[in-house]
Amino acid sequence: MTDFVFSADAHMNEPKTLWADTLPTSMRDAALKTERVDGYIVMSGGGKVLHRMKLGDGTSGDERHGKYEIAPRLADMDRDGVDAEILYPQLGLMTCNLVEPDLERAHCEIYNDWIIRNVAGYRHKFVPVALLPVLDLAMAEAELKRCVALGFTTAMVPCGLPPGVPAYNSDAWDRVWAVAAEHEIPIVFHTGTGPDRVFERGAGAAVLNYLAVSNICIDAIAKMVLGGALDRFPKLKIVSVEAGASYLISLAERMDESYKQHKFYVSPKLSMLPSEILRRQVRATFQYDKSCIVARERIGLECLMFATDYPHMEGTFPHTRTVITHLFDGVDIDASSRKAILGETAAALFRLERKAA
């Protein structure tokens, strides 16, 4: 028996000149782009450097041939035992850093038009994620509506927010959540998105920074619960991506504890416990998090979604089958629960088109 595997976290690199070629002429100098400079990959946009990474990406020997194009990607998926994937952007993860709302909106529109065109005919293999501008929430609402009409089934917002943008516990976001809830569009929070990615440079920095971006993601999830957004929109589902999933149980217990014991100060009051809202409406992707499978009944089986994070170095390629074997090794779990975690939950949530068997 082979498992149907849907990776709830994967990325497609945009063509190198996607924005430079497509933006209105007046904006082209500010296009998001990647360059190699003095042994570094330098990502820039809006006329400034946004991020630098040392060249040599940790994937030597296991080249990801499918990071730019569909055909070699399908071959890599086949080789690795992955049936279908959600597709997040790569450089497009940085659109919220572009400062100017019109520039951010234009980048999002171009990305969204490109990715949905790129996967046309492959919607049984790929779920494209719409990129929402966030510097102006009226633009976020408008782009979400446009993307629903284009056929997107999910959309992403950054975990961290640039200065001046209302936080996720503000009801200023309700105009966006209302559209998402009405059209059953899960809203995705992918780690590493937001104004900052580098917080530490000293000893342990590589791992400390990875933890920091996970914590920012978890903070966004907590704000969505405790600020009341999920309570006001009970049909809205949200997803943390690449923050692991075991955190859900500790977050649930900590939120309930404080919610009850600090109730004199708690505002807004929620219609049910934070843990109940979390379980009803929050989902999480993971790569290596065996603990979440062991604790699935406490967390909620329906909250867990396996992911490969292809083509990234922290992902499971080209060892996904081995990773899956280790994840379930020694765990007493029935076949339908295993299938839910490996693909069925995500395929249903993100409305992957399933071909008739």
> Which residue lies nearer to Mn ion by CB, 8 or 278?
8
Cα–Cα nearest to 214, from 248, 242, 245, 254: 242
Contact 112, 147 (CB under 8 A): yes
> Which residue lies nearer to Mn ion by CB, 46 or 192?
192
- Establish whether the linkage from the previous residue to 24 is cis, with ω within 30° of 0: no
Q: How far is the CB of 324 from Mn ion (least distance, A)?
A: 18
Quickly tell me which residue has 């062991």 as its tokens. Answer: 294
> Which residue lies nearer to Mn ion by CB, 240 or 337?
240
Q: Is 141 in the site for Mn ion (CB under 5 A)?
A: no
Q: How far is the CB of 191 from Mn ion (least distance, A)?
A: 7
Q: How far is the CB of 195 from Mn ion (least distance, A)?
A: 18
List phi, psi (to 5°) of 10. Answer: -155, 160
> Which residue lies nearer to Mn ion by CB, 14 or 242?
242
Q: How far is the CB of 285 from Mn ion (least distance, A)?
A: 8
Q: What is the DSSP letter of 197?
A: S
Q: Is 242 in the site for Mn ion (CB under 5 A)?
A: yes
Q: How far is the CB of 100 from Mn ion (least distance, A)?
A: 26
Q: Which range, of 48-56, 219-227, 234-242, 244-252, touches Mn ion by CB under 5 A?
A: 234-242
> Which residue lies nearer to Mn ion by CB, 9 or 109?
9
Long-range CB contact pairs, 208-215, < 8 A, 24+ = 210/314, 213/159, 214/242, 214/243, 214/244, 214/247
Q: Which range, of 48-56, 97-105, 173-181, 242-250, touches Mn ion by CB under 5 A?
A: 242-250
Q: Is 85 in the site for Mn ion (CB under 5 A)?
A: no
Q: Which range, of 7-15, 28-36, 90-98, 344-352, touches Mn ion by CB under 5 A?
A: 7-15
Q: How far is the CB of 59 from Mn ion (least distance, A)?
A: 14
Taking CB under 5 A as the rule, which mask of x and - marks residues 184-223 in contact with Mn ion?
----------------------------------------
Residue 43 three-state SS: strand
Q: Which range, of 2-10, 34-42, 144-152, 329-337, touches Mn ion by CB under 5 A?
A: 2-10
Q: Tell me which residues in 274-333 interact with Mn ion (CB under 5 A).
A: 309
Q: How far is the CB of 246 from Mn ion (least distance, A)?
A: 18
> Which residue lies nearer to Mn ion by CB, 309 or 344?
309
> Which residue lies nearer to Mn ion by CB, 270 or 347?
347
Q: How far is the CB of 346 from Mn ion (least distance, A)?
A: 14
How far CA 14 is from CA of 107, 182, 220, 225, 229, in Å, comes to 12, 30, 26, 33, 32
Binds Mn ion (CB under 5 A): choice among 5, 6, 7, 9: 9
Long-range CB contact pairs, 349-355, < 8 A, 24+ = 349/186, 349/237, 349/239, 349/283, 349/305, 350/6, 350/8, 350/86, 350/127, 350/153, 350/154, 350/186, 351/127, 351/153, 352/6, 352/84, 352/123, 352/124, 352/127, 353/123, 353/124, 354/124, 355/124
- Establish whether the linkage from the previous residue to 133 is cis, with ω within 30° of 0: no
What the block records as the tokens of 180 is: 């998402």
Distance CA(186)–CA(344), nearest Å, equals: 15
> Which residue lies nearer to Mn ion by CB, 152 or 317?
317
Sign of the CA dihedral with 266 first, then 251, 155, and 134 last? positive
Q: How far is the CB of 314 from Mn ion (least distance, A)?
A: 8
> Which residue lies nearer to Mn ion by CB, 109 or 309?
309
> Which residue lies nearer to Mn ion by CB, 153 or 214?
214
Count of residues that bind Mn ion according to CB under 5 A = 3
The residue ranges that bind Mn ion (CB under 5 A) are 9, 242, 309
